[in-house]
Structure 1
């Protein structure tokens, strides 16, 4: 005999659950759910203003518009703002008379709506709105800047990097990319200074750091700067140039090659004498000329030696020539790094350089 399956416990509540899902909009996309909740919130505020005008001020309708600017996309937000402003006009009929104070309140509400609409139109270029668009940009910045992290080096080798941007913003035109291909004996690192400074150069630096990070790990050292130069020439940026210095270090022998593209020279500290030596290298800035050549400068890091790579924000200012700035930096480095190199990059960058320019610094020490 066939027996009908027993009803599941709580099946009597399923219509209520379906009704709740319909009201809450759980089956809808997130922005549509947000829109539904914000419409309900605006209607609740409007009902409170209509029933208890002395308790709920008219300006409380600004709150749903502000929440909408955070949680709605560029397509839904303009219509929601218009919906709220229409409710404001409809609620005017509830007021016994229009006074000067009421006119000021209306001016505040409509001005806030206009500003939110302008923000929505600007965000429409990105295609996402509110906190989602900002979180996407921050995530992109963090992922690309993660490529500048120093890989794990063998015992006896230490590398530190530090970065400061003009104005203290998290976006800068200076950055560092590094790689240790296949975990082998070669360590490649490049310090780059994109034209411009601060947030203005930050967007170009984000794109360029991702591209250079891939090239650094994939190409032999002698081809890296030439390929980076070709990449910048293809971008056709108005401020389409950058300076860079590339170090390729053999972790077994300590021998290295330096190639520069219009960048300040690297400096090496000899452990025996304690003196700093500048390694001048020639090469045009990236993105200016086709078929540019970048001749190498060779040297060796022995036990106790250190190598310093930096951007011009560390040594250049309006009142000081870059040569004098390098001398000052090396003199400061001699004082700060005497006895220990621990946290040396951060200590150097905090003491030196222009606060109105981006600064990047890399310190490599062989123990």
Structure 2
């Protein structure tokens, strides 16, 4: 019958040599006892073969572009070690399936080109993840878990009656990673806390902040308060990063007597509210930026927190914007903080969060710590 489609006898297409080489290398790696788990790989191989059989046997119901499904799954669940070999296998199956179709159409060739282009894209992404050595979804979960574990250093400990400490942190653009961080420790009736602003923006600043928050969290519990910034400065100098500097403000508070000591390192001053006079005072301690000067010295300011007093430690993203000088930003911070201190008890639980949301630039990281001695 002239109208009936005839099967075409076409020699099977050859698999490109590069893809075949990657497939052979991936196959050899299966014998390595240190190789990642092979279950997901074998599962995807079987799944891909089943889809290929479906496209050949039932082309009206199983289109060729269903092979995109195992392609996406490989980018999510396969180790980067297996991805090149699997992509070579997938490309070979895709190309080999074309002659088996009854009448390959122009749409079929377009689908093949799209699948091969996506294979290249997944391969490039896999090569970027190869340094980590885990699959995409697992790598992201590991990074989030690392962030959560390190941020535990910044969780404020429970304080004795009459003392309240609250903190808030916002990152530029609302991402989960920020260049500002807080580390805290409370031992032997003393609260030691530091608010740090890492240089730079974006992923580079957030990466350094993750590393430094872990290191500084260990330092603040291991060294005397007056040696913390010196040790932090020495740590930063040892890394020799291109943008390896940071600013910080440190507070050491005796929870029994209320005596405190504040150090700064190229950072906006800590603000002290005296309930007796109703005035705010900038504690102008002196010290250079961390990570720039060998043997830097940091001078402190001492004071006493009496009932009703408060201390504010913050980063410049909270008080400085492109259109506002830092002095005006500090004045606005003081005004908003005074309203929060004298607000209703029901609204004081989230007062620091509200302060951070109202103030500063959303294009910069923002951190705020409030220590209040209740009257």
**TM-score (normalised: structure 1):** 0.90
Partner of 2:367: 360
Q: Which residue does the alignment assign to 1:66?
A: 72
Give CA-to-partner distance per residue, 1:185-226, whole Å, 9 cap, x none.
111000000001243311100000000000000110111000
Kindly indicate whether residue 105 of structure 2 is the aligned counterpart of residue 95 of structure 1: no
What is the total number of aligned residue pairs between the two structures?
339
Which of 272, 275, 294 lines up with 2:276 in the alignment? Answer: 272
Q: How does 1:86-235 map to 2 (within 5 A)?
A: 86-181=92-187, 184-235=188-239
Deviations, residues 66-98 of structure 1 (Å, cap 9, x unaligned): 111111111111100110110000001023444
- Name the stretch that deviates more: 86-95 or 331-340: 331-340
Distance in 1 (CA, whole Å) between partners of 2:192 and 2:359 is: 25
Deviation at 1:29, TM superposition (A): 7.5
Alpha-carbon contact 1:167-1:356 (below 8 Å) kept: yes
Q: Are the counterparts in 1 of residues 95 and 112 from structure 2 also a CA contact under 8 Å?
A: no
SS at match of 2:320: coil
Please state how far the C-alpha of 1:230 moved relative to its aligned partner.
Answer: 0.2
Deviations along 1:157-185, one digit per CA (max 9) or x if unpaired, are 1100000000111000000000013xx11
Q: TM-score under structure 2 normalisation?
A: 0.88
Asked if 1:38 is matched to 2:44, the reply is: yes
Contact 2:266–2:289 (Cα < 8 Å) also in 1:
yes
Choose which of 238, 241, 246 in structure 2 pairs with 1:242. 246
Q: Secondary structure at 2:323's aligned position in 1?
A: coil
Tell me which residue corresponds to 2:355: 348
Cα distance in 2 between the residues matched to 1:168 and 1:304: 33
For 1:180 and 1:337, the matched residues in 2 are separated by: 23
| Unmatched 5+ stretches in structure 2 | 1-32
Distance 1:28 1:122, change over 3 A: closer
- Unaligned runs of 5+ residues in structure 1 are 1-26
Q: Bigger shift: 88-97 or 306-315?
A: 88-97
The 3-state SS of whatever aligns with 1:122 is helix
Mapped partners of 2:214, 2:275: distance in 1: 35
Match of 2:337 in 1: 333
Residue of structure 2 in register with 1:22 after alignment:
none
Q: Give me the CA root mean square deviation.
A: 1.5
1:219 & 1:187 partners in 2: Cα distance?
A: 13
In structure 2, relative to structure 1, the CA distance for the partners of 1:28 and 1:173 (3 Å cut) is closer
Alignment of 1:275-354 (within 5 A): 275-340=279-344, 341-354=348-361
Residues in 2 aligned to 1:102 and 1:49: alpha-carbon distance in whole angstroms: 11
